[in-house]
Every structure is written in C-alpha cells, then in structure tokens.
Structure 1
C-alpha cells in the first residue's frame, strides 16, 4: 500500500465497485454459455480494453523478478479457478445463496493474512465482520441446501471463495511493489490463457454462440470486471486485502435486489433484514479498520 490517498474517498470507490460486481451474477444467469467460456471471454475482452493503456508500465514489467512472475501466474490460476467454480455455481443455485457464500471470503482472507503476514484484526473489526456474516447468512438462508442441485452449487461457490481469497492475498503482496494496473493486466491474461487451455482440453467450442451471448461476454468484461475487480485491485494500494474483501460483502445485497427486479427471484423479510445487517457490519468494519492498514503494509515490506 502507498501512503498517498486516492483522488476519490475510498468508501465511495468501494460503493461503486460493489454496484458493478452486483451485476455479475445477473449477466451470468442470463447467459446459456458454459461458465468456462463466459470466464475466458470476460477476461480476454477486459485485457483487450486495458492493453492500449499499458505502455507506461512496460518498464515495470521488465523489472519484475522471476519470483514475481511465478506469483502472477499463481494469482491468474486462482482467479480462473474462482470464476470457473463461482460462475458454475449459479447454474445450480440462486443468486442470493451463491453470493452469500462468496461473501464468506473475508474469513479466508483473515486466516490467510494471519498465517502469511501475521495480520491481526481488532475486536471491533471482528465484530463488524460477524454482524455482516450473520446478515449474509440471513440473505441466503431460504435457499441453501434445498436440493442436491442447490448443494452442488453451494459447494462450487465455497471452492470459488477459497480461490479468490488466495488471489487477493497474492495481489496484496504484489501491488506493494508493482503498479496495480500492470498486476491486473498480467493476471487477467494469465487467467484467460488458463481458461483457453481448459476449454480446448474439454472440447468446448470457442465461437459457436449467438450475438446475445457475445453481448453478455462484453458486459461481463466492462461492468463487473473493469468497474469492479480492477477497481478493487487498484484499491489494494491504499487499503488492505481484508478491507477490500470485507466490502465485497455488499455484493449479496446488490445482487439479491437485482435478482428480485430482473430475474424474479423472491426475497423474504429475513433476507431483507440480512441486507441491512450486512451494511451495518460494513460500517462498523470501515470505521475500525483504517489504522490496521499501516501495520499490514509494514508486514508486507518485511516479507518481500
């Protein structure tokens, strides 16, 4: 993380990112293409959008060490695995249930940050996280485990959550010494290549999709990826991976509301209450977690 502040307050940028990523599950539900194809084109189109602006970072790319390239590759593999599992989960379970499980990501982040960086959270931060996690459980309570398909979707979402937690932890270490834009571009290209190899080996078509599907692929690249994931990667310069991950807890709220409006997925009073609890937990965490960012930065520097 850098000592400087972003031009726009971090909470506002977090909110914009949450709204953007909330559309991800909606676009995925609208698509009939395999999850691996959606993920491949989502990352490929995002990389193509980023490439024209990558020239200023060429020097930083040549300065990367072998260890950095290995970590970048690992981060790309984990990102591809995250998209493959989580996007696949939406074929079997509801938006509320899948995004609820994804919101458990901070638990894995906190555990990983403690193991790798000796990063301890404050009691107030843990309280905020507990409130938000309880709210997320309320959101998906009515859907989880109702059938074997739901259970399969739940397990896929858990696997995707573990993968993205590892991706974020690696990202936090790398952006401490390289531009976040370069990090995002290399990781997205790496993940797209992983998807391409997977689709090739699985015999999945690369091109036989109607125009509507191509439109969805582009929307997935522009809305939740550029204005969601890239924004969150950029924010790793100014705040910790745990804080970034915590704010993604807002996704189940936004995604569930959009699923109700656009997909007709009903929400119960318990789920609406859960949404309020999530936002309350976010507020508690944000108010208590700012001082911790400096300590995480120091740990990252000593681990480099």
Structure 2
C-alpha cells in the first residue's frame, strides 16, 4: 500500500515545483526593459540551447515524426509563442495579480476541450476543487480589475493568451501520448521562438544591443519557469490528464502576487491574501481527491527507461 502511494507523491511534488517555477515568470518579465517579443524569443531559444547536449540521444525520434505530428507540433508551437507574446504584453499594462488571475480560466477551457476531444471525465472532487480555486482567484484580482484604459487592454491580452495556451495544452496532450517530453518540448520551443523571431523581424525590433542584465533575465526565464515549469508540465501530460496539469495555473496568482508584493512593491489586500490560501485549498482538493488525476498517474517503475523525470530537462 505504501509503495503504491509513494510514486503519486512524487508527481504531486513535481506539480508543486512547477507551480512555483512558473510564478517567477511575471517577476522576471517586469524586471526586463526589453520588448516582450524579444524576451519570449530568447527565453525559448536559450531553453533549446540548454537542451542541446541531449539532442544526440534523441536524434532518431527527433527526425522520425509523421506529417500529422509535424503539423500539430507547428500549431502547438505557434500557440505557445502567441501565449507568451500576449500574456507578457499584458504585464506591461496591468498588475501581476490581474494578469495571472485571468489565466486561471485555462483549466475550464482545457477541461471542456479534453471532454470534447479526448472524452476525459471528471469527478465531483475535481469540480469542487476547481470551483474553490477559481472563486479564490477572482478574489485575488477583485481589487485590481479596471473597467477602462490600459489595464482593460492588459486584461484582454491576458485572456487571449489564456486561450492560446489552452490550445497548446490540448495539442500537447495528444502528442505526448506518442512522443517523449524532450522531443515534444524541443520542437515546440524552437517553433515558438522562431515564430516570435519572425514577428520581431516584421516589426523591425532589434535582436541585439541588450545589456548583460537583460541577457541574465532571458537565461533565468529559460531555466526557471520554462524548464522547471513548462517543460515539467509537458512531461507530466503523459502521466496526468491535461485538466489536472492546467490546474497548476490556479496556484500561480498566489505565489506571483506574493512575489510582486515583496519584489515589485505591488499592494496586496487582506482579501487577496486570504483568497490565496483559498486557491491552494482548492488545488489541494483537486489533486488529492480527483480520481481522474490519480487514475492517470503511473508508478515510477512503469516509466520507460528513455523518459526519466526532469533528467531530460536539466
């Protein structure tokens, strides 16, 4: 009994690591003075650079994709690049709390998509957990939503970024059934970065001339929220359903808002602070008592030898 429970705890721990990692993304973006399309482009290209030492190991799989897989990977990459462009852009117009709280709509969209395309079911505990977390997320942003001006545009960009990442997540769920995390992430990150590079070329945004501090932030974005966030979640897609993985976004406003309060001086009301614990409670119910989450978690002993957790990303 204890042996069966041990592997699921490992997945839950990795899940929490991923939530913490992605929460640093908004802080690094705020610290950077570069255009958001440049930040996102170098974030992804540097991630691929870190992954290069393992390319030889996966060389056969990297170049043996079917035409359908290539098409899905291309669209998934474009969706991810669009997500970064829109969401990072929203951080320049509205607060971290508002921008991240809108992203909490992602699990609802992913759950609907999973039901329509993959016939993935949910249970009562998952719905209750999602509801609690969503209500808490709204409370975090309640004191920060604006009805007009730049903040409203920022909210709209965050919403569109949420739609884009939901599409990316659903395509990733399908592709990860047949591809290793390394191959999927390598090509998706490369395509997303290249789509952003084309955007920068069309808009004559410079590729060079950035201070060493900016390059340091690009690298931090590549390592912390991308490798230990997006890469980790894409790896988990094979063993946990897409709705459960996308639930991680509900924990992000809590940690991001606290980080913004400490590091950026953004105010956080007592209501928002209390709502953070409400969100965490909802996430805990979702991953602890959601049978669909548990049902798709596999034991460490069942993992294929070519797919070690995290090792492929570091």
TM-score (norm 2): 0.90
- Map 1:77-226 to 2 at 5 A: 77-226=78-227
Q: Does 1:276 align with 2:277?
A: yes
SS at match of 1:104: helix
Conserved in 2, the CA contact under 8 Å of 1:240 and 1:293?
no
**Could you tell me how far apart the structure 2 residues matched to 1:220 and 1:287 are?**
30
Aligned to 1:14: 15
User: How many residues are matched?
Assistant: 293
SS at match of 2:257: helix
Q: Name the CA shift for 1:166/1:293 in 2 (closer, same or farther; >3 Å).
A: farther
Shift in Å, 1:293? 6.3
SS at match of 1:178: coil
**Could you tell me how far apart the structure 2 residues matched to 1:31 and 1:140 are?**
23
Q: Name the CA shift for 1:224/1:292 in 2 (closer, same or farther; >3 Å).
A: closer
Conserved in 1, the CA contact under 8 Å of 2:8 and 2:297?
no
**Could you tell me how far apart the structure 1 residues matched to 2:48 and 2:295 are?**
31
SS at match of 1:55: coil
Unmatched tracts of structure 1, length 5 or more:
298-304
**Could you tell me how far apart the structure 2 residues matched to 1:289 and 1:70 are?**
33
Conserved in 2, the CA contact under 8 Å of 1:119 and 1:296?
no
**Could you tell me how far apart the structure 2 residues matched to 1:39 and 1:93 are?**
18
Moved over 3 A (4+): 5-8, 290-297
Q: Which moved more, 1:195-204 or 1:207-216?
A: 207-216
Q: Name the CA shift for 1:292/1:267 in 2 (closer, same or farther; >3 Å).
A: closer
Conserved in 2, the CA contact under 8 Å of 1:143 and 1:150?
no
Q: Does 1:67 align with 2:68?
A: yes
Aligned to 1:39: 40
**Could you tell me how far apart the structure 2 residues matched to 1:284 and 1:7 are?**
15
Conserved in 1, the CA contact under 8 Å of 2:287 and 2:294?
no
Q: Which moved more, 1:143-152 or 1:286-295?
A: 286-295
Q: Name the CA shift for 1:87/1:170 in 2 (closer, same or farther; >3 Å).
A: same
SS at match of 1:183: helix
Conserved in 1, the CA contact under 8 Å of 2:239 and 2:297?
no
Conserved in 2, the CA contact under 8 Å of 1:94 and 1:143?
yes
Q: Name the CA shift for 1:81/1:119 in 2 (closer, same or farther; >3 Å).
A: same
Conserved in 2, the CA contact under 8 Å of 1:6 and 1:238?
no
SS at match of 1:56: coil
Q: Which moved more, 1:111-120 or 1:269-278?
A: 111-120
SS at match of 1:203: coil
SS at match of 2:279: helix
Shift in Å, 1:292? 5.3
**Could you tell me how far apart the structure 1 residues matched to 2:102 and 2:167 are?**
16
Aligned to 2:52: 51
CA-based RMSD of the aligned residues comes to: 1.8
**Could you tell me how far apart the structure 2 residues matched to 1:48 and 1:82 are?**
21
Shift in Å, 1:295? 7.4
SS at match of 2:57: helix
**Could you tell me how far apart the structure 2 residues matched to 1:167 and 1:269 are?**
35
What's the CA shift string for 1:89-138, capped at 9, x where partnerless? 00000001101111211011011111211223212211110100000001
Q: Name the CA shift for 1:46/1:21 in 2 (closer, same or farther; >3 Å).
A: same
Unmatched tracts of structure 2, length 5 or more:
1-5, 299-314
